Structure 1
Amino acid sequence: MIDIEQPDQLTAYLRARGIVAAEEQPNIRVLTGGVANKTVLVEHAGGGLVVKQALGKFRVKVDWFVQPERSALEALGLRTYEALLPAGRTPRFLFEDFDHFIHAMTAIPQPHETLKRLLLGGQGTPTLIERFAALMAASHLRALQHADALRPQFASLDYFETQRLEPFYAYTATQVPEAADFIHALIDETRRTQLTLVHADFTPKNILVLPDDQLVLLDFEIVHWGDPAFDVGLALAHLIAKTIKVEARRADYAAYARLFSAAYLEQVGNTFGALEGRIVRHALACLLARVRGRSPLEYFDEPQRAAIAARAVDQVMQLPPTLHALVDALTSLF
């Protein structure tokens, strides 16, 4: 099995595929930050590409195993979102290799930055948040227009179970027993709710921001036909976390979290039923997961995680009636 993080191995592999010329020595750089894949940037005479290889054991402190065959789902997901969204809103798919759990895509030219880094650096803007909401809403609405074709392709929940429902929800229920009944009921509801294509990692770390503030969506390995409320709730949990973390812009970021929620709901309307209540529940569960699940947010220390978990549990017990009320309740005491 090739190891793409070894430059000599990857260079030989790309030469064998005819991507890199025999006499050429490409520039290869391992990209860090992800836990589920080996990811490498390759720059050569023909341009730049990103090569990803799925891991069987994630790079986190607790054991987390997922079949690397999911690489095929990510390749299919990338091709699907590339077709659904406007040109340039995803990388372009290049090739896949089932035998080595590899797929490749075009590299997004520099300069760019992740929305996560911009937010943590205090550089969030209303424009970025509105475009974040618009991109998510477009993905959900456009997929629904092609439901007959997409639903059977993404009907399996296997990887959503192993990468979200178990490590985010079921595991968190064992760590926060006072929220266990709430979480298990949400797991059951989520399995039953199948409305449109769900990315399941539509978060600021998977959004690249270009110099003109256009956004590019990355990482498609948990795509499934499910409840769009999960995407919105997970994204909102991350925006709330950034609000708590970036004290100097807390009032602005709380307003941005409310803006994100309102912009998304305005664009989808009643398409997906009683959506707001489901988003509230997913946002609470995802926030708990990011401080008590298998992969906690790295920018909080343990006392901060404990405080966030306690505040989230308080809200689980009373369930705010609106997303605005949820944002206010989770951010006002920090």
Structure 2
Amino acid sequence: MTLDTIEEVKKYLLAEGLVSSDDVVQVEYLSGGVSCRVWKIVRNNDRWVIKQALEKLDVKVDWFSDVERIHREHHVMKQIERIVPDSNVPKVLHTDYTNHVYMMTCAEEGVETWKDLLISGVFNVSTAKSAASLLSQIHSQSFKIDEEQKAEFSDQKYFNQLRIDPFHRFLIQKYPELTSAINKLIDELTLEKTCLVHGDFSPKNMLVQKNGEIVLIDFEVAHWGNPVFDLAYCLGHLMLKAWHLKKYEEILSLIRAFLDSYRGKVSNLLPHLGLMLLARMDGKSPVNYIQDEDLKQIIRMVAISWIKNTAPDTHVMNAIEQQYNLN
């Protein structure tokens, strides 16, 4: 059963016994993602979110991924309950392995994503610190995850389908001169498995509550791997927004706070960060808010130089700060 319309969602809820025919149910489509259909459900005082995986992702180019990845997501969420506070990750309420659906608790009313806050000009250092602290906790405490689940998460099939193939290997086709450097980054991400990695640690997946705490969502790319990916992925998004908004000092303060608050060590961050920047220009899922071709070329130049870079990780903040002088 596909959940493409409000009526289909209501029929599904009835069929699964999640609501009764007497209930007044409100269904709202939640946009913003490319890999799932996501709906908000309101019944009396209950507020839920229901997700169903798409086989073909909603982008211009052909990009496919096994729909079974939705089950990786709710398996990871269950395990993360062991290592982070209850308020930071939604609770899984219902799972359906036949239709590749699950339902979870919904964040408080009026909550905004960190991405939306940034785009609207809100640059709160405490949000960056909260994000880094949460990520650090996931990475450092993931040893508490059940061994059987850890073995399942070590299968990086979905990470390959949703990140390595559309980002790294797709870029090799466009930039064959970077083949050796990018293959080195692929090896670091796929062979150095040390902790749970979120895989989509982006401001769009962080809901900022009224108390300032972050609720983290979208775990379908989570896997046992190299933590450098999460840092590079998040910092890449912050850097792109600095270029787009021309708010360099403001977002540099967020990046600095994020790096200072992350309690962990990663290796070779700058080349991985360069890869993330180039992927958001020329990968299968480029960012839609940067359209200026001159700016795209600046970002490409920075990204390529960093992919080739061998500078010590202690110089990452300096390297980031220097790039905005180009503008």
- TM-score w.r.t. the length of structure 2 is 0.94
- Residue from 258, 282, 287 that aligns with 2:277: 287
Superposed displacement of residue 20, structure 1: 1.3
- Residue from 249, 252, 265 that aligns with 1:254: 252
Q: Is the 8 A contact 1:140 1:198 kept in 2?
A: yes
Mapped partners of 2:146, 2:298: distance in 1? 42
Counterpart residue type for residue 289 of structure 2: Y
Describe the SS at the equivalent of 1:91.
coil
Counterpart residue type for residue 315 of structure 1: W
Mapped partners of 2:325, 2:305: distance in 1? 13
Describe the SS at the equivalent of 1:108.
coil
Are 2:236 and 1:237 equivalent residues in the alignment?
Answer: yes
Extract unaligned runs of 5+ from structure 2: none
The 5 A counterparts of 1:169-318 are: 169-247=168-246, 249-264=247-262, 267-268=263-264, 275=266, 277-301=267-291, 303=293, 304-318=295-309
The 5 A counterparts of 1:129-140 are: 129-140=128-139
**1:323 counterpart residue number:** 316
The 5 A counterparts of 1:26-45 are: 26-45=25-44
Counterpart residue type for residue 29 of structure 2: V
Return closer, same or farther for 1:233/1:115 CA change in 2, 3 Å cut-off.
same
Superposed displacement of residue 240, structure 1: 1.0
Superposed displacement of residue 177, structure 1: 3.0
Counterpart residue type for residue 41 of structure 2: V
Mapped partners of 1:256, 1:115: distance in 2? 12
Cα offsets for 1:278-304 (capped at 9, x unmatched): 222211111111111000011101513
Counterpart residue type for residue 38 of structure 1: R
Cα offsets for 1:217-244 (capped at 9, x unmatched): 0001011110011111111111111111
Superposed displacement of residue 70, structure 1: 1.1
Mapped partners of 1:133, 1:190: distance in 2? 20
Superposed displacement of residue 150, structure 1: 4.2
Describe the SS at the equivalent of 1:291.
helix
Mapped partners of 1:278, 1:125: distance in 2? 27
Counterpart residue type for residue 261 of structure 1: L
Q: Is the 8 A contact 1:237 1:287 kept in 2?
A: yes
Superposed displacement of residue 121, structure 1: 1.5
More divergent stretch after superposition (52-61 vs 82-91): 82-91
Are 2:326 and 1:333 equivalent residues in the alignment?
Answer: yes
Mapped partners of 1:256, 1:8: distance in 2? 42
Mapped partners of 2:298, 2:232: distance in 1? 20
**2:141 counterpart residue number:** 142
Q: Is the 8 A contact 1:258 1:323 kept in 2?
A: no
Extract unaligned runs of 5+ from structure 1: none
Describe the SS at the equivalent of 1:27.
strand
Describe the SS at the equivalent of 2:2.
coil
Mapped partners of 2:200, 2:183: distance in 1? 20
Cα offsets for 1:31-89 (capped at 9, x unmatched): 11100000011111250111100000000011101111111111111212233211110
Q: Is the 8 A contact 1:320 1:326 kept in 2?
A: no
Cα offsets for 1:67-113 (capped at 9, x unmatched): 11111111111212233211110111111111111011011121210
Q: Is the 8 A contact 1:84 1:143 kept in 2?
A: yes
Percent sequence identity over matched residues?
29
Q: Give the paired residue count.
A: 324
Superposed displacement of residue 307, structure 1: 2.3
Cα offsets for 1:111-130 (capped at 9, x unmatched): 21000111122102111111
Q: Is the 8 A contact 1:312 1:330 kept in 2?
A: no
- TM-score w.r.t. the length of structure 1 is 0.92
Cα offsets for 1:226-276 (capped at 9, x unmatched): 0011111111111111111121x2112112212212221xx22x5xxxx2x
Mapped partners of 1:10, 1:280: distance in 2? 44
Q: Is the 8 A contact 1:176 1:292 kept in 2?
A: no
**2:18 counterpart residue number:** 19
Return closer, same or farther for 1:208/1:162 CA change in 2, 3 Å cut-off.
same
**1:126 counterpart residue number:** 125
Superposed displacement of residue 7, structure 1: 1.7
Mapped partners of 2:150, 2:18: distance in 1? 34
Across the aligned residues of Structure 1 and Structure 2, the Cα RMSD in angstroms comes to 1.6
More divergent stretch after superposition (10-19 vs 218-227): 10-19
Describe the SS at the equivalent of 1:88.
helix
Counterpart residue type for residue 332 of structure 1: N
More divergent stretch after superposition (192-201 vs 116-125): 116-125
Superposed displacement of residue 180, structure 1: 2.6
Q: Is the 8 A contact 2:79 2:146 kept in 1?
A: no
Mapped partners of 1:306, 1:147: distance in 2? 45
Describe the SS at the equivalent of 1:183.
helix
Describe the SS at the equivalent of 2:98.
helix
